[in-house]
Structure 1
């Protein structure tokens, strides 16, 4: 787990920028523990791509980038780069483990439209 002293001074703490549900936080924590590393954080980014123009990326990252927005949830840190942050303000990340859906889901009030496959938005 990264302590505040290890976080670059250019990182901002903004707990209201993105929300990670308790279920999703537990899943992220379990996945990080499986990796056997305590320096990883969940990075959420928005990249060009997909049939609607923008695509979400979720991955574990040990880096601290200039302008990162860092939020903490139940011992898990979520990091959003400064370019992606405006697209993700108010978004909620959850984890579904049902017969009809499994994996991380993102409910984003900023997404005007999304594709039928649910993989991209604009």
Structure 2
């Protein structure tokens, strides 16, 4: 008899800078009960849009990974779209914020808000 192990983690990575920034934001709010969630929703001019937010919910089928003291959650419907993606945090003169580099995206819109 073969027993299959259910996958409970995902293939999204979080850079040290992104983990540190997310942890600092959580610490600033005094919250240790939130997960950083990456999700994919229909929308945007290219068809799909990322959502990156702190979430206090636990959804059925969530894939969870602990990185740098931050819980990173992906719902099971979004997981195939973001598998292999990396989340970083940049803080330069030109740009500040979280960025997502996704090898699964075949293209994106000019504004960078959505992908396909």
TM-score under structure 1 length normalisation: 0.87
Corresponding position of 1:100: 94
From 14, 18, 25, the equivalent of 2:9 is: 14
* Poorly superposed stretches of 4+, deviation over 2 Å: none
**Is residue 12–residue 68 contact of structure 1 (8 Å, CA) maintained in 2?**
no
Cα distance per residue 1:13-37 (max 9 Å; x no partner): 325x100000000000001111211
Corresponding position of 1:67: 61
CA RMSD across the alignment: 1.2
Matches within 5 A, 1:82-97: 82-97=76-91
Corresponding position of 2:25: 31
**Is residue 12–residue 70 contact of structure 1 (8 Å, CA) maintained in 2?**
no
Cα distance per residue 1:52-111 (max 9 Å; x no partner): 000000111111111000011111110000000000000000000001111000000000
C-alpha distance in structure 2 between counterparts of 1:69 and 1:90, whole Å: 14
Instruction: Quote the offset at 1:12 in angstroms.
Output: 4.7
Which blocks of at least 5 consecutive residues in structure 2 are unaligned? 1-5
Corresponding position of 1:76: 70
TM-score under structure 2 length normalisation: 0.92
C-alpha distance in structure 2 between counterparts of 1:13 and 1:67, whole Å: 8
